[in-house]
Amino acid sequence: MSVKEIFETMDYGPAPESAAEALAWLVDQGDRFGHFINGAFTTPGEGFDSRNPATGEVLATLSQATQDDVDAAVAAARSAQPKWEQLGGAGRARHLYAIARLLQKHSRLFAVLESLDNGKPIRESRDIDIPLAQRHFYYHAGMAQLKDSELPEAQALGVCGQIIPWNFPLLMLAWKIAPALAMGNTVVLKPAEYTSLTAMLFADICQQAGLPKGVVNIVTGDGAVGEMIVAAEVDKIAFTGSTAVGQRIREATAGSGKELTLELGGKSAYVVFDDADIDSAIEGLVDAIWFNQGQVCCAGSRLLVQEGIADRFYDKLRARMDGLRIGNPLDKCIDVGAVVDPVQLQTIQTMVENNTAGEMHQVSCVLPENGCYYPPTLITGLETSDPLMQEEIFGPVLVASTFRTPAEAVELANNTRYGLAATVWTENVNLALDIAPKLVAGVVWINATNLFDAAAGFGGVRESGFGREGGWEGLTAYTKPKGTAKALAPVEAVSGEGAPHDPLDRTAKMYVGGKQARPDSGYSRAIWGKSGLLGHVGLGSRKDVRNAVEAAAGAKGWAKATGHLRAQILYYIGENLSARADEFAHRIDAMTGKKGGAKEVETSIQRLFSAAAWADKYDGQVHGVPIRGVALAMKEPTGVIGALCADEAPLLGLVSVMAPAIAMGNRVVLAASEPYPLAATDFYQILETSDVPAGVVNILTGVHADLAKPLASHLNVDAVWSFSSTDLSAQIEKASAGNLKRTWVNNATATDWNVDHSKRFLQAATEIKNIWVPYGE
């Protein structure tokens, strides 16, 4: 077109970013890559092509890692780890800082390579992915610097296996590697097979930065390589990807003692109230669901609009969609690039084709002939029962429904198995700050969407996984308390025979929903002391677990009670226990045949007081994120926690679990010490007299092995802990995969209950939700 013609049409025209430098870099590497192990690239082996999804052209050939490659990488990481940790925080900080600087120096090379490999618009890789990756290394250079002074009780986990997805290749690498290295771990990382090129460039950077050999190892390949890493002798697995694979990793690592964090899928709600700035909310949707072609785990993919404005909102949204520009990812003037691979494109096409409900609007632009392109799509008028309202599409497809009231908005938003992120648009600060805590999600954005920063934790709840990346909260995923645990032998019940010591029979029941309950099974077993029969307890079964969880789930109000009130009740429990201290001490001694009862009761009272003290002091944080606004890191109760309590400390083991859990607003289902259950059954009398609301604490008795499975597999339980001397860790973690419960199991190691571990319990009893609140008038 001539200048004069363009003057008339005012078209945008092409604005391509050059790929020359990135392609030249690939040529310099021989267009073939081995793995990066122990500070050097291996000779390229059997492998697969890495293609540009916008054109289908082969960019380079990557190697499929063998078992030997993975073993070599893990061995290199293992041997490098002690020295890396001993280098100290300040020493590691210098290396992380050097990496950040080099990422910055080569920022355009990274950006172009990323867009070539992944298909995302150059605007996104240049303005978002690469700067954020740099930011994570800068931020965690700071965390390394502060580690020794601020986290003196923490130590590195060791070798971390890290498996990352294809949607934000370099950024996810940074999220994984930066905190791991900062805390003194070494890593074996596998990038996604579609998008490994920037990881290769990163390896190049590690060499340039003089990073010690073996600290970072990168192996390439498909899911089979991921499985090898999961099975390898590593201390932790960090995975970002689909929920289905996350569940398989949970099962595969069950009982192995490997730490695990999972950042999985989502179907994040995007809630627009009728007082919102509608044009801004619509612009937000562009960044929510058409960002990175919708291939974003936290994409605002489920639009919920208040009924009164829905029609107008949809009209404006469709008009806005029609202005989106789709095309060559390296064009600086496009909004939507290519989907990562033909396989993903096919998945999106099939899901949309199978939908018959609602009304569909697709941008009617001409898509490039070659390459994996899918038009931005809106489907309105869907209901919660339509599959597309529930299933993650992972493409540029927005589904929409309406709501009537704030309460209904919350219900609809939370009507999902996922819980990654949510967005709320309203100009009413009361409404915004009321809704945000009610949304079941790890991240909530108010009047904004897809804001990320290294200083604010990111991660989900429910089946979106567990663990946080970024912020102080992210460091716990790469550290553990100093010290080593001793082995825990099974604790046997005292056996005996003969008549009861006290001829008046007292029936110890279970405690469910604030009431004493007989076992559903109708069976009981005898509890003996050295001096004779002490009593009987019910044999709990799956039905009792069901009833207890139902009661716990129903006691929702406890989570909303003030910290002050929860503290008062915990103090009251302590007070009432103190009043009957002698009786409890005597009972413990009678069951265990030892003389530690008095001390155990006294320590239990201390635990209750500690938890009461923390109830209104375990504060969240306000993160310093680089916007005009705040990111409120709020600590929320995990939910319903099921726990198999310690066998060896019948009262203290139970109280140590219960007190911090309920202090944070959780409801608990506690399986009493299996050999010595009568302290727990006596204890419910204390609960009954201490104003503990019904359902907040539920106590079951019976065989831990029988209670573990129904508790760990119950889909309405949010976390399951085991301190049982029966080693049920593997069984529990495996069963927990169904809804991806948070697990804390002892792997047959002992806990010293005389030591106050309240902080660890408080941490396990809370989830950190980051609520981003930009402001400004």
**Cβ-contact 755, 610 below 8 angstroms:** no
Q: Which is nearer to another protein, 620 or 629 (CB)?
A: 629
Give me the least distance between CB of 401 and another protein, in Å please.
22
Q: Which CB sits closer to another protein, 497 or 777?
A: 777
Choose the binding region for another protein from 260-268, 281-289, 341-349, 651-659 (rule: CB under 8 A): 281-289
Q: Helix, strand or coil for residue 159?
A: strand
Residue 6 binding another protein, by CB under 8 A: yes
Ramachandran region, residue 771 (left: φ > 0; alpha: ψ -120 to 50; beta: rest) = beta
| Interface residue with another protein, options 278, 351, 561, 694 (CB under 8 A) | 278
| Nearer of residues 189 and 630 to another protein, judged by Cβ | 630
| 457-460, long-range: CB < 8 A, 24+ apart | 457/633, 457/768, 457/770, 458/175, 458/263, 458/298, 458/770, 459/261, 459/263, 459/420, 460/263, 460/264, 460/266, 460/418, 460/419, 460/420, 460/421
Cβ pair 692, 686 in contact under 8 A = no
Tell me how far, at minimum, the Cβ of 282 lies from another protein, in Å. Answer: 10
Cα distance between residue 17 and residue 444, in whole Å: 34
49 contacts another protein (rule: CB under 8 A): no
Distance in Å, CB of 622 to another protein, minimum: 17
**Strand duo 421-425 + 397-403: pairing:** unpaired
Q: Output the smallest distance, CB 341 to another protein, in A.
A: 25
Residue 275 within binding range of another protein, rule CB under 8 A: yes
Q: Which residues on adjacent β-strands are paired with residue 634?
A: 769
Number of residues that bind another protein (CB under 8 A): 41
Closest residue by Cα to residue 633 from 436, 406, 407:
436
532 burial (CB, 10 Å; 0-12 / 13-18 / 19+) is: middle
Query: Of these residues, 193, 263, 636, 648, which one is catalytic?
Result: 263
Please identify which residue in 251, 277, 575, 616 interacts with another protein, judged by CB under 8 A. Answer: 277
Check binding of 20 to another protein (CB under 8 A). no
User: Does residue 385 bind another protein (CB under 8 A)?
Assistant: no
Q: Confirm whether 297 is a catalytic residue.
A: yes
Contacts of 152 (CB under 8 A, 6+ apart): none
Cβ pair 270, 300 in contact under 8 A:
yes
Closer Cβ to another protein, 692 or 773, answer by number: 773
Work out how close the CB of 331 gets to another protein at its nearest, in angstroms, rounded to a whole number.
Answer: 8
Q: Which is nearer to another protein, 10 or 366 (CB)?
A: 10
Cβ partners under 8 Å of residue 774, min gap 6: 446, 447, 448, 451, 627, 628, 629
Stretch that binds another protein, among 184-192, 259-267, 625-633, 643-651 (CB under 8 A): 625-633
Cβ burial, residue 147 (10 Å; 0-12/13-18/19+): buried
User: Binding another protein by CB under 8 A: which of 152, 498, 503, 776?
Assistant: 776
- Using CB under 8 A, which of 57, 150, 153, 279 touches another protein? 279
Site for another protein in 414-443 (CB under 8 A): 425, 427
Distance, in Å, from the CA atom of 149 to the CA atom of 617, rounded to the nearest integer, reads 22
Q: Of the ranges 263-271, 276-284, 296-304, 413-421, which one interacts with another protein (CB under 8 A)?
A: 276-284
As measured in angstroms, the least distance from the Cβ of 405 to another protein is 19
Stretch that binds another protein, among 48-56, 135-143, 433-441, 626-634 (CB under 8 A): 626-634
- Angstrom distance (rounded) from CA 629 to CA 448: 11
Stretch that binds another protein, among 9-17, 110-118, 492-500, 553-561 (CB under 8 A): 9-17
Q: Is 330 in the site for another protein (CB under 8 A)?
A: no
The residues near 3 (Cβ < 8 Å, ≥ 6 apart) are: none
Please choose, out of 223-231, 525-533, 648-656, 768-776, the segment that lies near another protein by the rule CB under 8 A.
Answer: 768-776
- Helix spans in 10-129 (H): 20-28, 67-86, 88-105, 107-118, 122-124
Letters for 465-504 (x = contact with another protein by CB under 8 A, - = none) are: ----------------------------------------
Nearest residue (CB) to another protein, 320 versus 515 = 320
Nearest approach in angstroms of CB 101 to another protein is: 23
What Rg do the C-alpha atoms of the chain give, in angstroms? 28
CB atoms within 10 A of CB 361: 17
Min dist CB 469 to another protein, Å, is 23
Taking CB under 8 A as the criterion, the residue among 46, 57, 150, 283 binding another protein is 283
Residue 228 identity: M
Q: How far is the CB of 337 from another protein (least distance, A)?
A: 13
Q: Tally the C-alpha atoms within 13 A of residue 581's C-alpha that lie toward its C-beta.
A: 14
Length of the chain measured in residues: 777
In the window 114-153, what residues touch another protein (CB under 8 A)?
A: 123, 126-127
Tokens of 142: 């700071």
* φ/ψ of residue 563, rounded to 5: -60, -35
Exactly one of 131, 500, 596, 629 binds another protein (CB under 8 A); that residue is 629
Query: How are beta strands 159-163 and 629-637 bridged, if at all?
Result: unpaired
The C-alpha atoms of residue 375 and residue 358 are separated, in whole angstroms, by 18
| β-strand pairing of 443-446 with 421-425 | parallel
Q: Which residues on adjacent β-strands are paired with residue 538?
A: 524
Q: Which of 81, 186, 196, 447 binds another protein (CB under 8 A)?
A: 447
What are the Cα distances from residue 239, in Å, to 7, 299, 673, 712? Answer: 51, 18, 35, 22
Which window, 2-10, 40-48, 252-260, 395-403, contacts another protein (CB under 8 A)? 2-10
CB 62 within 8 A of CB 50: yes
Question: Shortest distance, CB of residue 400 to another protein, whole angstroms?
Answer: 20
C-beta of 77 vs 285, nearer to another protein: 285
534 three-state secondary structure: strand
Q: Which of 17, 160, 259, 297 is catalytic?
A: 297
In the bound state with another protein, the residue whose beta carbon lies nearer, of 325 and 518, is 325
24 lies in the binding site for another protein (CB under 8 A): no
The region of 170-178, 214-222, 331-339, 667-675 touching another protein under the rule CB under 8 A is 331-339
Q: Give 335 or 733: the residue with its C-beta nearer to another protein.
A: 335
Q: Could you list the active site residues?
A: 263, 297
Query: What residue ranges bind another protein (CB under 8 A)?
Result: 1-7, 9-15, 123, 126-127, 275-281, 283-284, 323, 332-333, 335, 425, 427, 447-448, 627-629, 774-777
